[in-house]
Amino acid sequence: MKASVIGATGFAGAELVRLLLGHPQAEIAMVTSESSTGEMLSKMYPHLRDRLDKRLTSMQDIHTIADVSDVIFIALPHGHAMKIGKELRNTDVKIIDLGGDYRFKDYRVFEKWYKVEHVDPEAKAVYGLVELYRDKVKQAKLVANPGCYTTASILSLVPMLKYKLIKTKGIVVDAKSGTTGAGRSLKLGNLYESVNESFKAYGVANHRHTPEIEQAYSEFAGEDVIIQFTPHLLPLDRGIYATCYAELKDDVTDEQIENAFNEMYGKEYFIRVLGKGGVPELKNVRASNYVDLGWEVDRRTNRLIVMCCLDNLVKGAAGQAVQNMNVMFGLKEQMGLEALPIYP
Given the residues 148, 244, 308, 309, select the one marked as catalytic. 148
Question: Cα(first)–Cα(last) distance of the chain, in Å?
Answer: 34
Return the exposure string of 253-264: e unless at least 16 CB atoms fall within 10 Å of the residue's CB, then b: eeeebeebbeeb
Q: Are 324 and 300 in contact (CB under 8 A)?
A: no
Residues in the chain: 344
308 is catalytic: no
Q: Where are the alpha helices (H) located in the chain, listed in sequence order? A: 11-21, 41-44, 62-67, 81-87, 107-114, 130-138, 148-162, 192-195, 210-221, 254-265, 319-328
Handedness of CA 281, 282, 284, 288 (dihedral sign): positive
Say if residues 294 and 279 touch (Cβ distance below 8 Å): yes
Ranges of beta strands (E only) in 277-339 are 291-298, 303-310
Q: Which residues are catalytic?
A: 148
